[in-house]
Structure 1
Amino acid sequence: MRIPPTRPRSLAGQLFAMQVVLVAAVVAGCALFAYADDRGQAEETARRQTTATATAVARSPAVVAAARSEDPTAALQPYAVSLVGEPGVTFVTIMSPDGTRWTHPQPEEIGRKYLGHIGAARRGETYSETYRGTLGRSVRTVAPVYDRGEVVALVSAGITVERISAQLRGQVTALLGMAGAALALGGAGTYVINARLRRHTHGMNAAELSRMHDYHQAALHAVREGLVMLDGRRRIALVNDGARELLGLGPGAVGTPVAALGLPPSLTGALLSGEPRVDELHLTADRVLVVSTRPVVGGERRGTVVTLRDHTELQALSGELDSERGFSQALRSQAHEAANRLHTVVSLIELGRVEEAVEFATAELELAQVLTDRVVDAVAEPVLAALLLGKAAQANERGVELELTRDSRIDDGVLPPSLPARDLVTMLGNLIDNALEAARGTAVSRVTVTARVDEDAGELLLRVADSGPGVGPDDHDAVFERGWSTRGPGRGLGLALVRQTAHRARGTVALGQGPDGGAEFTVRLPLAPVAPDGADGADAAHGAGGAHAVHAAHGAGGAHAVHAAHGAPGTDAPDGADAAHGTAGPAPAGSGRGAGTAS
């Protein structure tokens, strides 16, 4: 039968055992040190006491006189016995200079040799030592007895080690009690601390904690999404590499309050909110972020988990996709209109009106081709050209006149690599979409678009004006904030993206009033210097005799017409958008089409 391996003790348990052993060792060491110190002090006290007793006896005149007598024992034994008492020395032995005892606590030892060293005393020195004699091990002092400069006797006073130990027993008992109390207190404190540690480590051992840390670091830095954890005081407690990049945080971000990070107000509010957020779009200086937050509440662990996903590329790709989708819708619309025109031509031929059929077919083709040629000729960037053609089709379907001004021109190779077409689609596409919504249903229903390069100022100008109700002065700043919209919830991101993209390109966005009374948005983006190719710039293509404007008008049946106004040779074209386009006229009887006249 296989015995399953036992799980290693938890980290808290290991630390508890280690700390108990350490506390016990420290307490035992302190107790031993205290005992040794007390014993040393007791022996030193005994040594001083025996020295004082031996010296006093050696100086006694009675002792000197007895030492000169015929029977020193008879005079000195009672005296020596009287000096021995409970608080004093254990024994006092008086002897001849050769070590023969004259006195002793045990009378049978009188006349025998003294057990100990007396050489120093015979030389006239007072000498102390610890020695084992007839009464056991003792601390003793031997002092010489002088008479007229001659050593006539020796005095030894001593205290047995047993008596010293007896005096220390009470202190040792108290010391052991204190050591036990210290050990119990240390053990209790260690238990409390380790119980708290066990709760925080969830009973895991060191290997499990190390493995979890490795997994944590791998997961934290491997994911591309941003992950931020805020503590209960709304400070950054944890942040991974993705979040540092998305939020532009420095290496010292951990411990910094969210309010001090310099993030946009809407994003800061989302991070500080106690309510969970799910897939909210927020803008930073150069990114579109999808933010989700979830408060974490459990015991003492309170905070917020924040996940961040970069939506910038997806937003830009969505803009390009909308542009391509608009272009495809324009092609489908043109195909539908071509089928209608073909049916009309066939009907005219069947009615025998061949000349009118030819005129109708060629006129419609010429008008459609003029629009395409105008856009392609003015805007060499294919993505922008597709965007404008697609928006023209959308404008036609919504009954809005989309006009590209005569001074619009973006030559190929003018845009620097720092200003990709994707960003232009984001800005111009959102501005045109908003303008179409604003102009729809108004009396004029017109959107005017300008896209040109100002070589003198070294900048690209994008301007979109509409005939809508405009924006009030109080909302000129708020209109660029995320979520601001007059069309209900779930909107209000387009203009915020326009401003973000313009600021990322170090450009500006201005809001004013257009010529038709609606809003006019002007975007100015700096360009790298462009060397001239022998031409005089954009204006060379629109000189006298060549100035023209193209726009979509709407006749009966929803078909659109394109109007080109050409200035006479040597004269200037009229100023303003209104002088650049014609008006839709009524359809001839039986033709089923709209006609335009050039002004």
Structure 2
Amino acid sequence: MKRWSLARQFFAGQLVFVFVLTSCISWVLYLDAEQNTYDAASERMLSVAGTIALDPLVRNAVGGLDPAAELQPYAVAVMNGLGVDFVTIMAPDRTRFTHRNPEQIGLPYIGSVAEALAGSPHIETYTGTLGPSIRAIAPVKDATGAVVAMVAAGITVDRAAIARNAQLPLVGLIALGALCFGALSSFVLSRHLRRATLGLGTDELARMFVFYDSVLHSVREGLLLTDPVGRLVLYNDQAARLLGLDGNRAGSLTRAADLLLPTSLTELLASGRQAFDEVHLTKSRVLVLNQTPAVPPGGNNRGGRTPGGKDSSETGSLGTVTTIRDHTEIESLAGELQTMRTLAEALRAQTHEHANRLHTIVSLIELDRRADALEFATKDLQQSQQLTDRVVAAVDEPFVAALLVGKAAQANERGIELSIEVAEAMGDAGIEAGDLVTIVGNLLDNAFDAAAASDGRRVELAIGSAEGPRGGLRLVVEDSGPGFSAGESRRAFDLGFSTKEHSGSGRGIGLALVRQAVQRHGGTLEVTTSELGGAAFAVVLPSRAGARPAADAQ
């Protein structure tokens, strides 16, 4: 039986329960029929005995010279007419005047007579000459109220049993109907349970739960389960950490729309649509999500559901399964790789330019114009060194300094005039180098692309100390590009938004990463119209020097 499915065990248990219940009901109905038959027979015998006791013929005959001769024909007629097994009229001393068997006339009556002698009729079941019988005894009183005789009327228990047994077919039909109805209900419920449990047994379900629970909390990816209406059913520890959820993994059926998640994440979880490697940003993380419908074996739903959950419920989907991967460190490494790539491109451009300048210097020397060659070399070295020294001296971070030097070379190669103004002695703001590289690098890349499409082709970067009690760092990047309209300004930092032509999946992430980094440090970010004609991005990052690292917030 342990190998049976849960549905089969339930069906067998229900059948046993229904059989036991039906047997109990049948027994109660049988006892009730027996009691009703006894009560009906007792009431009938009491009526017969009472009627005979009130008959003047009986009262007068018991006072005559030969009561038996006068009352026996009367009793026989009553017994035959009413279908009574016996009617015994007797004297107060139990002497019978009548009996079904004439040989018993004159012999003492067998039964209780005390109550009748006291003037009250009573009913009893007693074993007499005809066997066990249900009988009623009523007193016969004269005009003064004295008991002058007694009348006993009764039927045998066997005749009462016949009447009781006549009701057994009805009892059987009721029991059979209850058994059939209970069995059918159990079958329907077991079929539903079989579909719900996929035909698995209790041991299999228990083992599956243990395995699945272990897998759920051992995987390194976040896992979310939602029902067809977009409510969270279950999530593992990694998902709780990545999304900032509480530890109640059993799911209080909270709607995704009620969670404090970014709008893009909320819309994805609430819609239930399919998603493949979609990038979503929280305040502190870069997350890659995949989402697919949860379909039972044999289901054919692969298209997800429309907002509102109609498609899933109609096609058999139980909800959605969402996996979450943390790409924050990968994006950080990608930013550092982009910095190295920028530096490599800058070195390549500088190598090409320096080769040309070196050829110029060599040619001047060959032409015996050594003074001009020395002046040309010194001037070129001073211009490059001044920029490098100014950046390195002001920005106490080699990665950012290298980035700015590389971006200057990149701007020169693209024919863009890059102006960098760095305030002296800004101090240590305590801001992570990776975040500074992300912010400065993406803002400059965006400014380069915008300025390249304009006539001015100019970009300005200003780095200085932020005003206010908390101090910190202030960055302003301006370009001479086309700028943003009012609607584009509001959407500029949304993930996936881009004003560039042929923007695809690789577009629209740079400014979103900038906003994420700024929010992670509690800073501010705004975009306005630049004096150069394009867009101006202003970033203020409060000083975090000496502060404890903030916990990941959503």
TM-score for both structures, normalised by structure 1: 0.78
| % identity of equivalent residues | 47
Note if 1:370 corresponds to 2:370: no
Counterpart position of 1:566: none
- Select 1:290's aligned residue among 288, 291, 298: 288
Q: One-letter code of the match for 1:407?
A: A
Counterpart position of 1:277: 275
Shift of 1:204: 0.9
- Select 1:389's aligned residue among 402, 405, 408: 405
8 A Cα contact 2:88 2:152, kept in partner: yes
Distance 2:417 2:81 in 1: 127
Note if 1:304 corresponds to 2:320: yes
Shift of 1:446: 2.6
8 A Cα contact 2:343 2:403, kept in partner: yes
Distance 1:427 1:86 in 2: 116
Change in 2 beyond 3 A, CA 1:85/1:322? farther
Change in 2 beyond 3 A, CA 1:218/1:158? same
Counterpart position of 1:590: none
Shift of 1:464: 0.7
Shift of 1:29: 1.7
- 3-state secondary structure, aligned to 2:166: helix
Q: One-letter code of the match for 1:434?
A: N
Shift of 1:344: 5.7
- Select 2:7's aligned residue among 9, 12, 15: 12
8 A Cα contact 2:229 2:270, kept in partner: no
Change in 2 beyond 3 A, CA 1:62/1:49? same
Note if 1:98 corresponds to 2:93: yes
Distance 2:378 2:491 in 1: 49
Shift of 1:161: 2.0
Q: Which moved more, 1:229-238 or 1:247-256?
A: 247-256
Note if 1:76 corresponds to 2:71: yes
1:129-168 superposed matches below 5 A: 129-147=124-142, 148=144, 150-168=146-164
Counterpart position of 1:44: 39
Note if 1:216 corresponds to 2:216: no
Q: Which moved more, 1:132-141 or 1:63-72?
A: 63-72
8 A Cα contact 1:229 1:305, kept in partner: yes
How many residues are matched? 522
Distance 1:108 1:90 in 2: 16
- Select 1:503's aligned residue among 500, 519, 533: 519
Shift of 1:247: 3.6
Q: Which moved more, 1:427-436 or 1:347-356?
A: 347-356
Counterpart position of 2:312: none
Counterpart position of 1:421: 433
Note if 1:481 corresponds to 2:494: yes
Q: One-letter code of the match for 1:307?
A: T
Counterpart position of 1:465: 478
- Select 1:240's aligned residue among 233, 236, 239: 236
- 3-state secondary structure, aligned to 1:476: helix
8 A Cα contact 1:409 1:452, kept in partner: no
Change in 2 beyond 3 A, CA 1:49/1:247? same
Distance 1:465 1:259 in 2: 38
Q: One-letter code of the match for 2:132?
A: R
Q: One-letter code of the match for 1:468?
A: G
- Select 1:184's aligned residue among 180, 202, 205: 180
Q: One-letter code of the match for 1:425?
A: V
Q: One-letter code of the match for 1:199?
A: R
Counterpart position of 2:49: 54
Shift of 1:26: 1.9
Distance 2:407 2:243 in 1: 34
Deviations 1:95-152 (A, max 9, x none): 2333332211122222333332334434444332112222222111223334456544
Distance 1:519 1:87 in 2: 117
Distance 1:42 1:26 in 2: 24
8 A Cα contact 1:49 1:89, kept in partner: no
8 A Cα contact 1:381 1:411, kept in partner: no
Change in 2 beyond 3 A, CA 1:88/1:460? farther
8 A Cα contact 2:399 2:437, kept in partner: yes
1:229-268 superposed matches below 5 A: 229-249=225-245, 254-261=252-259, 263-268=261-266
Note if 1:113 corresponds to 2:108: yes
Shift of 1:90: 2.6
8 A Cα contact 1:16 1:194, kept in partner: yes
Note if 1:526 corresponds to 2:542: yes
Unaligned runs of 5+ in 1: 1-5, 532-599
Note if 1:435 corresponds to 2:430: no
Distance 2:366 2:396 in 1: 43
- Select 1:227's aligned residue among 218, 223, 226: 223
Change in 2 beyond 3 A, CA 1:409/1:304? farther
Distance 1:489 1:268 in 2: 24
8 A Cα contact 1:442 1:467, kept in partner: yes
Counterpart position of 1:547: none
Counterpart position of 1:34: 29
Distance 2:4 2:138 in 1: 66
Q: Which moved more, 1:489-498 or 1:255-264?
A: 255-264
Unaligned runs of 5+ in 2: 300-314, 548-554
Distance 1:30 1:194 in 2: 24
8 A Cα contact 1:93 1:102, kept in partner: yes
Distance 1:7 1:52 in 2: 63
Counterpart position of 2:552: none
- 3-state secondary structure, aligned to 1:154: strand
Q: Which moved more, 1:16-25 or 1:432-441?
A: 432-441
Deviations 1:549-569 (A, max 9, x none): xxxxxxxxxxxxxxxxxxxxx
Change in 2 beyond 3 A, CA 1:15/1:530? closer
Distance 2:282 2:236 in 1: 18
Note if 1:314 corresponds to 2:310: no
- 3-state secondary structure, aligned to 2:184: helix
- 3-state secondary structure, aligned to 1:84: helix
Shift of 1:494: 0.9
Distance 1:10 1:473 in 2: 64
Shift of 1:257: 4.4
